[in-house]
Amino acid sequence: EIVLTQSPGTVSLSPGDRATLSCRASQSVSSSYLAWYHQRPGQAPRLLIYGASRRATGIPDRFSGSGSGTDFTLTISRLEPEDFAVYYCQHYGSSPTWTFGQGTKVEIK
Amino acid sequence: EVQLVQSGSEVKKPGESLKISCKGSGFIFSSYWISWVRQMPGKGLEWMGRIDPSDSHTSYSPSFQGDVIISTDRSTSTAYLQWSSLKASDTAIYYCARLGLFFGEWRGFDYWGQGTQVTVSS
pLDDT score for B94: 98
Do the Cβ atoms of B110 and A57 come within 8 Å? yes
Averaged confidence pLDDT in chain B: 97
Distance from CA of A17 to the nearest CA of B (A): 25
Give the span between the Cα atoms of B98 and B24, in whole angstroms. 9
Question: Checking DSSP bridges between strand A54-55 and strand A46-50, what pairing results, if any?
Answer: antiparallel
Interface contacts A/B by beta carbons within 8 Å: 75
Which of the four pLDDT bands, split at 50, 70 and 90, describes residue A4?
A: very high
Give the span between the Cα atoms of B30 and B4, in whole angstroms. 14
Q: What is the pLDDT of residues A34-70, one digit of tens each?
A: 999 999 999 999 999 999 999 999 999 999 999 999 9
Give the span between the Cα atoms of A35 and A20, in whole angstroms. 15
Q: What is the pLDDT of residues A20-43, one digit of tens each?
A: 999 999 999 988 899 999 999 999
Closest in B62, B107, B113 to A97, CB measured: B62
Average pLDDT over residues A73-96: 95
Residues of chain B contacting A42 with CB distance shorter than 8 Å? none
Do the Cβ atoms of B45 and A103 come within 8 Å? yes
Do the Cβ atoms of B106 and A32 come within 8 Å? yes
pLDDT score for B105: 87
